[in-house]
Structure 1
Amino acid sequence: MGTCLWILMLVVNQVSAFRRPAEASPCQVVHQDVDCSSLNLKRVPERLPASIHLLDLSQNLLQNLTEQELPGLSNIRRLNLHANKIQFIQPGLFQNMSRLELLDLSENSLDLYAALKTYIGPLTSVRHLDLSGNGLFTDMSDYFLSDAPLLSNLSLEGNSITKISKDTFNRSQALTNIDLHNNVIIEIEEGAFESLARLSELDLSVNSISCITDFNLVQLKTLNLSKNSLTSFQTLDLDLEFELMYLDLRENKILYFPVLPQRNKLIYLDLSRNLLRSVNCSGPLEELENLKASGYLFTDHDKPLCLCVNQKHQDLPKLLYLDLSYNQFKTIPSSFFSSMVSLESLNLSNNCLESFSVDAGSPLNSLKTLDISYNNLQNLSFGGNTLVVLETLHLQGNALFMLDAGIFSRLPNIRSLHLQENLFSICPPLQGPTYNCIRLSSIPTLSYLYLSENSLVSIPPDAFRGSPLLILDLSQNPGVGLGSSSLSGLETSLSHLSLRGNELQTLSVDFTLFRKLKSLDLSVNRLTGDSLWSGESSVESLNLQNNSLVTLASDTVFALQKTLRTLYVGSNPLSCCENPYLLTLLQQDRLTVPDIAAATCWYAKDSERVEIGVSAVQPDHCESVDGKVLWISVIVVLALGLTLVSVVALKLCHSRTHGFKRGIKA
């Protein structure tokens, strides 16, 4: 009887266990997408939906991938295994995932798997494969790419690959995009990429490639070789039209302008931060020998490998963007730009140019942005009817002081002038032809003007009238004279004004007139609290840091309180008890005071001056002071009253005494 009961209970328990509800999965399920990321999982959850299109297992602790771990995923299309600890994958695991298009295996430990020299098996449908950040060495990627016929996008970024062999991508002929950024590639075997007829984007940036002397990837559209050790870039002399549109060669050691395809479609070329001294390809032999000795040129049996050959004239008719900044150019002949008839942006900043000119026949007349800042410019000239579409001009950092006064007035579409760090003075509007100042009035397209650090002595009346400026920067011109009409003509346009660091003690400008002014920077001056508004203000951001403000005029506070949203008041000798309106303003919730922690004020206590944060001011800090003043006032009044009464009484007594004596005598 007991045995039968035990068997019956066992059966009941098994049935109960069978019928027990399954544990809820920790993953989030939305339709056919399952998110199991960042759950510290060491195993794949067992009870997942039958049909999954996306499974995100990123940022967990998975180590081994087997069929038992990933069962029944035949319909999966995207599998994200980023940032786990995967070091083993069962060969053939992905073979039955016939719809898998994206496989992310980045940031794992697949170098341990590759060390087993075992192929992962076919990736028959995978189009996007990410193997970045896995510590893979040279040839280790072969174990993942041996059978990926549809693979189009491959990332091997952030590994330890030193060489790309000619067989690396043989079994992945559909590749269109390869990312090899941030490896230690020194060598690329001939034929490594040539067989990839569909390859259009190749990123080889942040490696150790020393030179490219035989570029022949006709089909490539984007090539990034930035941050290598290139001293030369040369294209094979092929009578073919190259599809290359974007070429990034910045931050290398290139000495001369690269040899580009004669028939090209280049629209973007970045050669910034190199050692360019000439726009020609060849240079003096002794110079190359010096560079060889200094280690800039890699050699083989004491013969330079990366010497530049004489080049033909290069046509760049479709080029839109050219960056030659941070090089060593002293001069660039105007003929260099002769074929660049479409160029819209030219950056020549941070070189050693002493002169720059654009004449009527120059191809640079298509420029919209020109940057020649931080050179050694002594001469600058723009001929008549030149730069007719130029919108932005950077001239800062050249110490220029002698220019044709009307040079900017002749730019019919100029919107932004960056003239800071020069030695300009501003012409009065009606002054005749001159070379000792620049005219900034009557430029109807000008919206942005930067004149900081120009040692400006004064701003003449109506200096900007007729130029509808939105932003005006007059900062860092110590001692500049600013009159009440210096900004006249900007009342209906000016939105941002900076007068920072000008040693201003007073301001005669009535900002009430500037109805569109939103941002005003008056920091690092010597202002003491003059009224800046006679009526309402439109200012939303006001910087009063580092001045000599003891009080802020009550009418200024009243003018600001409706529109002000951001206020800087730190580093001022503010009085706690003479600024009740300012302190009330600072306590408003809608107002942001970013430097509130550094904003302090002072009050008197026991004949001493006490400094506290403005946010810590309490009524009793000033009540005690007011009370003392009141009692002293009462005592003084009483004393004066008693003195007056005594004087009057003495006079009355004196007059009565004299009257009595006179009466007796009579």
Structure 2
Amino acid sequence: MMGPRLWILMLVVQQVSPYRRPAEASPCRVLQEDVDCSRLNLRRIPPQLPATIHRLDLSQNLLQNLTGRELPPSSSVRHLDLHGNKIQFIQPGLFQDMSRLEELDLSGNSLYIYAALNTHIGPLTSVRRLDLSGNGLFTDMSDYFLRDAPALAHLSLNGNSITKIGRGTFNGSQALTNIDLHNNVIIEIEEGAFESLTGLSELDLSMNSISCITDFNLNRLKTLNLSKNSLTNFQADESDQEFELQHLDLRENKLLYFPVLPQRSKLIYLDLSRNLLRSVNCSGPLEELENLKDGGYLLTDPDKPLSLCANKRHQDLPSLLYLDLSYNQLKAIPSAFFRSMTALESLNISNNCLESFGVDGLNSLKTLDISSNNLQNFSFGLDALAALKVLHLEGNALQTLDGFSRLPSIQSLHLQQNQLSVCPPLEGPSGGCVQLSSIPTLRFVYLSENGLFSIPAGSFQGSPLLILDLSQNPGMDVGSSSLSGLETSLCHLSLKGNQMQSLDLDFSLFRKLKSLDLSVNRLTGVSLWSGESSLESLNLQNNSLVTLASGTVIALQKTLRTLYLGSNPLSCCRNPHLLSLLQQNRLSVPDLAGATCWYTRDSESVEIGVSAVRAEHCQSADGKVLWISVIVVLALGLALVLAVTLKLSHSKRHRFKRGIKA
């Protein structure tokens, strides 16, 4: 029987130090005040979390329900990431006590199930950034999350199933500055849906089904993305108020005419690519517009007529820096269209139907792309394009070009896929050619697929080119002086696909040449270096090469880093220097598996990979002849040495005997 003192002592011990089951270690990773519980297949939130947490990451788990028991309120949490779970229920008011919560990511869950309960999530008092993307939300379902979010600035609803933006959708989130509605099914936007958001600066409505924007009046908006919709018309409010809009993306729609932009605009970026533009006017003839309205195109507000914008044929865009009109159906653009675009730096009109293009002014333009049209004439005024650096004219029908020497800043000319020929130096283009000499700023010239027959001597004299592409001109003749003047500048040269059988050039003279492409020709041998080389990459694929001259290989072995050799009938036994070069570890041969050579065995030609060549392969047939020749030469040499030695020995003995007699 236990004594009273012992019983009292045990009772005191129990009260002072009660027995507790050891707590399980949390599977989460803790770094100072950041807790990472992501990708742990959690079905419940671990209870053993630090008392103070600034960032809590519970993403990519299996959580389904969020309640007060699952997510204990913590006033210290500022960033809560719950994306990529299976959350379908959130206890109303759960986030109310998180007074410091600024970022809440609920993307990639199943919140459409919660929204179907018609239950308000409760106040998001301090949340500034909310991500509800990829939750299967339908129209009006977002209202249950936005009704009481007074501090919300950034909202993402992309990847849901919203079809309509109502007038009161954002009434509880008046501080919004950025809204992402990308990749929904929006057909209708009620008038005034965004007008109360006086701080809204970025709006993404791309990848929806919006067919028409009329009376656009969000004058404080800076960025608007309407790409990948079904727009047939974009028309801004015709008031005199100043718009802050700077970026407008209308690509991949069904616009037939240039949009009606705000009269007072700060626009710097306008993308109209991949539409159905037929004219740069903002409207066409009246009958075309009537046909457009009768043709089944849906207007957001069918009661509002399309504006003929008779006084807006050419709109003022003095701040515009970037304009993309590519992939449309433009047949002509009057030069007056660009008159107000005094700041324009990049203009893309590629992939249209232009036959002629002329430029006056545009002295801030740095990049001009008119590629893939049907241009037969390209011209520019005496004082035009003063800042132009890059000109794309590839894929047209040009036979002659004039005036590149008048472009004081030109650096890159893309002239491939035309019908041009190159003028001799100091000869004008009157003979139907392009003058490319004496342009001191020129660095890059691309002339592939022009049907060139020859490159006259000194064609690029006075133009310090770094890159020259003369590929895909079958039958083109490149003489020993064709590239004269480029010895101290040229770094990359392509002569690919020209069906050349020989090449009379000494590349030792080109002291900065780093890359040379001679692939897809008919070269039977390569002996192009008489001295040292700076070459790092050489492409010899698809030729008729049997040997590489030993002098060439020796010149290349110090600097060459990459060599392409495949699809050549190389000799295994007549390229000892080449095979030795291929065995160097520092050399990369990307097509080594397809690089083969031939040797003779039992009077038959045998093909093997160059990496598999051994000494014994060259001891038969032609290899055997070579070895026999070597042995015969050595034998003859030994016989000669022996004969001379015997003669000298006999002569010495004879003199010695005569000396004794005396």
Residue number in structure 2 paired with 1:175: 176
TM-score by length of 1: 0.88
- Which digits, 9 at most, give the CA deviation of each residue in 1:280-307, with x for residues without a partner? 2222344345545654x22699x79773
CA RMSD of aligned residues (A): 2.7
- Which digits, 9 at most, give the CA deviation of each residue in 1:223-269, with x for residues without a partner? 00011000000011112000000001011110111111001100111
Residue 89 of structure 1, CA deviation: 1.6
The residue type equivalent to 1:610 in the other structure is V
Q: 1:618 to 1:143 in 2, by over 3 A?
A: farther
Q: 1:578 to 1:119 in 2, by over 3 A?
A: farther
1:373 is aligned, of 371, 388, 391, to 371
Q: 1:547 to 1:96 in 2, by over 3 A?
A: same
Q: 1:96 to 1:528 in 2, by over 3 A?
A: same
Residue number in structure 1 paired with 2:311: 312
> Mean Cα displacement is larger for which, 211-220 or 272-281?
272-281
> Mean Cα displacement is larger for which, 570-579 or 467-476?
570-579
- Which digits, 9 at most, give the CA deviation of each residue in 1:101-145, with x for residues without a partner? 111111111112212222211111111111111111111111111
2:405 alignment partner, SS class? coil
Q: Within 5 Å, which residues of 2 pair with 1:72-111?
A: 72-111=73-112
Residue number in structure 1 paired with 2:507: 511
Residue 333 of structure 1, CA deviation: 1.5
> Mean Cα displacement is larger for which, 497-506 or 620-629?
620-629
Residue number in structure 2 paired with 1:652: none
Residue number in structure 2 paired with 1:18: 20
2:362 alignment partner, SS class? helix
Asked if structure 2 preserves the Cα contact closer than 8 Å seen for 1:412 and 1:445, the reply is yes
- Cα distance in 2 between the residues matched to 1:58 and 1:542: 50
Q: Does 1:482 align with 2:478?
A: yes
- Cα distance in 1 between the residues matched to 2:538 and 2:437: 27
Q: 1:279 to 1:627 in 2, by over 3 A?
A: closer
- Which digits, 9 at most, give the CA deviation of each residue in 1:66-106, with x for residues without a partner? 22222253211111122122222222121111111111111
Q: 1:142 to 1:623 in 2, by over 3 A?
A: farther
Asked if structure 2 preserves the Cα contact closer than 8 Å seen for 1:259 and 1:311, the reply is no
- Cα distance in 2 between the residues matched to 1:575 and 1:634: 19
Residue number in structure 2 paired with 1:444: 440
2:373 alignment partner, SS class? coil
Residue number in structure 2 paired with 1:655: none
Residue number in structure 1 paired with 2:298: 298
1:472 is aligned, of 468, 475, 481, to 468
- Cα distance in 2 between the residues matched to 1:579 and 1:560: 14
Q: 1:57 to 1:623 in 2, by over 3 A?
A: farther
- Cα distance in 2 between the residues matched to 1:379 and 1:155: 48
Residue 363 of structure 1, CA deviation: 3.7
Q: 1:632 to 1:42 in 2, by over 3 A?
A: same
The residue type equivalent to 2:308 in the other structure is V
2:20 alignment partner, SS class? helix
- Cα distance in 2 between the residues matched to 1:397 and 1:312: 36
Counting matched residue pairs gives: 624
- Cα distance in 2 between the residues matched to 1:602 and 1:634: 21
Residue number in structure 2 paired with 1:251: 252
Residue number in structure 1 paired with 2:529: 533
Residue 431 of structure 1, CA deviation: 2.3
Asked if structure 2 preserves the Cα contact closer than 8 Å seen for 1:298 and 1:305, the reply is no
Q: 1:433 to 1:379 in 2, by over 3 A?
A: closer
The residue type equivalent to 2:445 in the other structure is L
- Cα distance in 1 between the residues matched to 2:428 and 2:529: 35
- Cα distance in 1 between the residues matched to 2:623 and 2:528: 33
Q: Within 5 Å, which residues of 2 pair with 1:349-388?
A: 349-358=350-359, 362-388=360-386
Q: Within 5 Å, which residues of 2 pair with 1:118-517?
A: 118-288=119-289, 290-291=291-292, 295=296, 297-298=297-298, 307-313=306-312, 314-358=315-359, 362-404=360-402, 407-432=403-428, 434-517=430-513
1:588 is aligned, of 584, 589, 594, to 584
Asked if structure 2 preserves the Cα contact closer than 8 Å seen for 1:253 and 1:275, the reply is yes
- Cα distance in 1 between the residues matched to 2:223 and 2:476: 50
Asked if structure 2 preserves the Cα contact closer than 8 Å seen for 1:147 and 1:172, the reply is yes
2:501 alignment partner, SS class? coil
Asked if structure 1 preserves the Cα contact closer than 8 Å seen for 2:189 and 2:300, the reply is no
Residue 620 of structure 1, CA deviation: 3.9
TM-score by length of 2: 0.89
Stretches of structure 1 lacking an aligned partner (at least 5 in a row): 641-666
- Cα distance in 2 between the residues matched to 1:93 and 1:19: 30
Percent identity of the aligned residues? 75
- Cα distance in 2 between the residues matched to 1:537 and 1:24: 65
Asked if structure 2 preserves the Cα contact closer than 8 Å seen for 1:298 and 1:304, the reply is no
Q: 1:240 to 1:100 in 2, by over 3 A?
A: same
1:366 alignment partner, SS class? coil
- Cα distance in 1 between the residues matched to 2:135 and 2:571: 62
Stretches of structure 2 lacking an aligned partner (at least 5 in a row): 637-662
Asked if structure 2 preserves the Cα contact closer than 8 Å seen for 1:497 and 1:519, the reply is yes
- Which digits, 9 at most, give the CA deviation of each residue in 1:605-646, with x for residues without a partner? 333333233333344434556774478769999xx9xxxxxx
Residue number in structure 2 paired with 1:646: none
- Which digits, 9 at most, give the CA deviation of each residue in 1:39-74, with x for residues without a partner? 222222332222111122222222222222222532
Q: 1:177 to 1:189 in 2, by over 3 A?
A: same
The residue type equivalent to 1:172 in the other structure is S
